[in-house]
Amino acid sequence: MSVRQPLADKIRPESFDDFVGQEHLKARITALGNANRLPSLLLFGPPGCGKSTLALLLARQTGKNWLRVSAPEAGLQQLRKSLTGVDVLVLDELHRFSKAQQDFFLPLLESGEITLIATTTENPSFSVTRQLLSRLHVLRLRPLSRPEMIQLARRGAESSGFTLEDQSYDFIAGVAHGDARTMLNLLEYVAALPEESRTFEKLRSALPEVVIRHDKDGDNHYELASALIKSIRGSDPDAALYYLACLLEGGEDPRFITRRLILSASEDIGLADPMALQLAVACQQAIEFVGMPEGFIPMAECVVYLALSKKSNSTYAAYLAAAKEIKTNGPRPVPLHLRNPSTKLQKDWGYGKNYLYPHSYPEGHVEQQYLPDGLEDRHFYQPKEHGMEPRIAAWFRQLNKRKS
């Protein structure tokens, strides 16, 4: 056994009896393990909860030829070659495959050529295609509880040849937030410390302030995403690229990032450059088609374009103003002339009466009331003087001048 073997791998259980956690799934796991044929599975849960360990235990129990690969490192061409003679495929981080790449597995599962045991930290409703999801049994794993984390911490310390005070185990288990891999990484750090530095008080100051890993379910995940968007809003392409790289190199799902970019294109750039939204949507489509790791190329282009674009949040602010009015005073009745008279009775009530059809008038516009009574003079949309918005809103400004 290699002395450089990570502690998490060193103490990985060889049997279900040593597996810690997921008590709510134990009966189902036992049934699956005892079945004549293991169905294809998707193990969904947060980092460090035991997905890969459980997948490996199930694969070994089949007694068939199995292979473990990681989606970020496996291209389809390489994967095709590797699957020769393989009965069970353990695939980590399925969500890192694009939808087009996920389609590769459909005929293999349909024919029963392989059994797929995939893992994901992302909600499969959004990260896995509907066609593939329908062919998988989904098991949802939970973060490990504090007692379960402490149990693993003791096992890890014992395997590393040292022991700690009870409160030290509790402290290390707490800062790992249910992520066993993070906790075992911390224990490896502790193992390298002098014995006199392993007291509880010294450990509190000796442990790294932040675990050097991008935690997609922790504060760091949201801090980096926030920094990316604020750098775009602040028109700093260098900072935006830096935080994009932090997210991607840390293992962030590119779909999460492209969703944020699409929102930024509408919220922060808006009508100052309507092309920004088109480019952000095109970036999202490119990611789905190309997948990773090459997907960073269109994402970098999109991030720089958004950062360099003129900014306007006028449409975002306009919606918030309209929503505030509704939340404060409630929705008001639609003017009768704007209502569609679907029945004779509604027509008798005055629905649609005196409605003026704008296309029947010069310039495709005619003055009439659209907002409900009491709001006739309210202006939720306030154009800004940035980028293309003045030209886009020029006619709107002209109409407002006629009213005043």
Residue 90 φ then ψ, to 5°: -95, 115
% pLDDT > 90, the chain: 15
Res 231: pLDDT: 92
Interval 174-202 mean pLDDT: 83
- pLDDT digits over 296-344, tens only? 999 999 999 999 998 999 889 988 999 998 888 888 888 988 888 888 8
Greatest pairwise CA separation for the chain in angstroms: 91
* Token duo for residue 110: 């349909």
Interval 271-280 mean pLDDT: 92
Rounded Cα gap, residues 70 and 20, in angstroms = 23
Structure confidence at residue 192 as a pLDDT band (50, 70, 90): confident
- pLDDT digits over 333-359, tens only? 889 888 888 888 888 888 989 998 888
Res 276: pLDDT: 93
Average pLDDT of the chain?
A: 84
Q: Is residue 44 helix, strand or coil?
A: strand
Rounded Cα gap, residues 289 and 303, in angstroms = 18
Rounded Cα gap, residues 339 and 367, in angstroms = 17
Domains of the chain: 22-140 (3.40.50.300), 146-206 (1.10.8), 219-308 (1.20.272.10), 327-403 (1.10.3710)
Neighbours of 341 (CB within 10 A): 16
- pLDDT digits over 3-46, tens only? 577 887 888 888 888 888 888 988 888 888 777 788 889 999 88
Q: Is the peptide bond before 293 cis (omega within 30 degrees of 0)?
A: yes
Residue 334 φ then ψ, to 5°: -70, 135
pTM here is 0.53
- pLDDT digits over 57-73, tens only? 888 888 888 888 887 77
Residue 340: partners with Cβ closer than 8 Å, 6 or more residues away: 346, 351, 352
> How far is residue 177 from each of residues 9, 103, 107, 262, 389, measured CA to CA in Å?
19, 35, 39, 31, 47
Rounded Cα gap, residues 76 and 66, in angstroms = 17
* Token duo for residue 311: 């900014």
